[in-house]
Structure 1
């Protein structure tokens, strides 16, 4: 079983206490840039994307004053009460391998309690389980309907150990893949490290290779757009939502703000890819990147022209661009753990499996109640909303 390597840029000395303190955006950004794999959701600009939340940057420091961790904390106020819900999306960025996890989390909880927080939710970075593509395909043939029924090919020892440590300290998993996690628990990774583009393409299934050949033969053109193209992207997104029977609940203003804010903090962080055929816009996808990580975020396509495979062409363009930058993994983001071939939710995973990648189950999001009665009332409120 493989283990993910996570080496802090400035490892704290084991056994020594850590101090948590607010930091400014410059310090926060600089620390994350020194790390190889922080999520885009932990950069300070994300607080500007999320309206209705207050953002704060905090850092962990060792006894020498060296910064060894960072987090973006989002606060949501309870109406009419001086109480807050705190959320660290796909964070904090700390050394999750440390056996003494208390020296990281205790200062965080003390800080949040002083801010009037009644519940905190976080998303630890370590993965939990992985299933290779062939394993998933074989499980579908055998009639299994959920990844929980399938023996994983890998169990990450860091994630498994951390889950036990959090549970014994009073943290509770917010969900088990059933929709309670705000960020995707199951994602799809296409590994690219040590592979040439010919190898990656050869590793795709016949449907994908035929789709790429069809798009190329038909003359589908792919380009990188700009903010002026976001309205067309959003129009296609609404068409996609209607066709597939789901709603992301985002507005054009949301995507415009996201594009502006993220690219202001770091030019090129959010890109809009466009696919046209004979002058018609047929598909548009967004891609996010920080450090050595890339995420395919949102895809949209028209009802017409699907026979020329514009989405295949766009994905291949995005894969090529990520590969040219030396990105080790192309993260295709969310998939459902449902593997029932007759279930509509399996469609996205089936399509992504064709690239030759694998499914990763993250640790998911974990909650800690700083005020038990208020936490329980909050859970009842959320349950009624669902």
Structure 2
């Protein structure tokens, strides 16, 4: 832990008297800590050092902490967005910090972390605690589908006691859940995600886990001659062209440029070769669908998907996802994460189609704790925070 530069004493009345070293760490030290925490509950790709270089317009810090004995116990990639006309920052830890949320002495590191960020000029902090809150298995979600129905109307198969405990701890310390307790929240990252567990499963297990429609569509793609390949940076313009087609068809805009995806691909793979891959589905020589995949430790994410408007009957997207699931399993991943899903269970809602499609993989809907915010102490910080909230509301 020699890379830790700042010694921070606990900064609130909950914190213990024991000393804690907290401060900037080198990317090498940071990555070594992440490597020690791989697995199904390992770090998000949004907390790897390279992600700071993906986010244009943000400054950043890599922070680590631990006892004076020298062993790191937690790290955080902090993105800093300057407030115009000031030297103050909004501090954002997407799906972080990477820490032991089960530690009963959360204040022992969370207090010093806030103190460090306040000293760095942060007027407010947003975090994304990593414990899950609730889980619904695919059959449960399917059985609960109906007009006007939402996930909150269906009894969860699992409630994570750690997630409940962390939420209670944050509320008790004045943190506010973004969007309040509304089901969809106001988070920058999806509150509900869809995950396929891979631990201990064979390709045959994954195949039988697909529903009948998915198996039929994968077979149809294979019979129609759909070919799946792993592309390169040179294929990103074609991916982006299909993404724009998809946005127009499905009525959404991610607001990202081709340069964004080119930068993401370059910096993630420079940090760890193969971290980001681009999968292509071709039929009769034409690329009909393209999906991106990101790997960190024992977790694999399907990040962004794009497809053409024509020849959809050959099911290129199903073929892509099946290949990506198989590759994730072959890598030894513990979980394949298909990222966000809506909370609506109403088949009449347009958004429900995305959930229905992902349900076919046989995984589970996971409700995360969502994102939480707190303003820093001080009248000026409180005023900046209110102004920042008004700005977000206008957006």
Report TM bin, short chain: over 0.9
Instruction: Compute the displacement of 1:177 (Å).
Output: 4.4
CA contact (8 A) 1:15 1:100 kept: no
SS at match of 1:273: strand
- 2:37 is the alignment partner of 1:35: yes
SS at match of 1:67: coil
CA contact (8 A) 2:307 2:317 kept: yes
Match of 2:392 in 1: 382
- 2:305 is the alignment partner of 1:299: yes
Instruction: Compute the displacement of 1:64 (Å).
Output: 0.6
SS at match of 1:228: helix
CA contact (8 A) 1:197 1:320 kept: yes
Instruction: Compute the displacement of 1:16 (Å).
Output: 4.3
Aligned positions of 1:224-263 closer than 5 A:
224-263=230-269
Alpha-carbon distance change, 340 to 251 in structure 1, aligned in 2, over 3 angstroms? same
- 2:64 is the alignment partner of 1:54: no
Aligned positions of 1:1-386 closer than 5 A:
16-36=18-38, 37-141=42-146, 143-175=147-179, 176-178=182-184, 180-370=186-376, 371-385=381-395
For 1:96 and 1:154, the matched residues in 2 are separated by 19
SS at match of 1:104: helix
Q: Deviations over 1:7-34 (max 9, x none)?
A: xxxxxxx984422111111111111111
CA contact (8 A) 2:54 2:260 kept: yes
Mind listing any 5+ residue stretches in structure 2 that lack a counterpart? 1-15
Match of 1:5 in 2: none
SS at match of 2:144: helix
Instruction: Compute the displacement of 1:68 (Å).
Output: 1.1
Deviates more, 1:22-31 or 1:214-223: 22-31
Instruction: Compute the displacement of 1:372 (Å).
Output: 2.1
CA contact (8 A) 2:185 2:370 kept: no
C-alpha root-mean-square deviation of aligned residues, in Å?
A: 1.2
CA contact (8 A) 1:127 1:156 kept: yes
CA contact (8 A) 1:39 1:90 kept: yes
For 1:284 and 1:381, the matched residues in 2 are separated by 35
CA contact (8 A) 2:302 2:337 kept: yes
Q: Deviations over 1:127-171 (max 9, x none)?
A: 000011111111114x45211111111110001000000000011
CA contact (8 A) 1:16 1:63 kept: no
Match of 1:7 in 2: none
For 2:69 and 2:246, the matched residues in 1 are separated by 53
Deviates more, 1:287-296 or 1:148-157: 148-157
For 1:95 and 1:27, the matched residues in 2 are separated by 18
Instruction: Compute the displacement of 1:287 (Å).
Output: 0.2
For 1:42 and 1:189, the matched residues in 2 are separated by 19
Mind listing any 5+ residue stretches in structure 1 that lack a counterpart? 1-13
For 2:18 and 2:120, the matched residues in 1 are separated by 25
SS at match of 2:126: strand
CA contact (8 A) 1:19 1:107 kept: no
CA contact (8 A) 1:177 1:186 kept: no
Instruction: Compute the displacement of 1:179 (Å).
Output: 5.1
Alpha-carbon distance change, 15 to 313 in structure 1, aligned in 2, over 3 angstroms? farther
Q: Deviations over 1:35-86 (max 9, x none)?
A: 1111111111111000110011000121212111111000000111111100
CA contact (8 A) 1:71 1:88 kept: yes
SS at match of 2:73: strand
For 2:44 and 2:325, the matched residues in 1 are separated by 19
For 2:49 and 2:32, the matched residues in 1 are separated by 11
SS at match of 2:145: helix
Provide the TM-score with structure 2 as the length reference.
0.92
SS at match of 1:79: coil
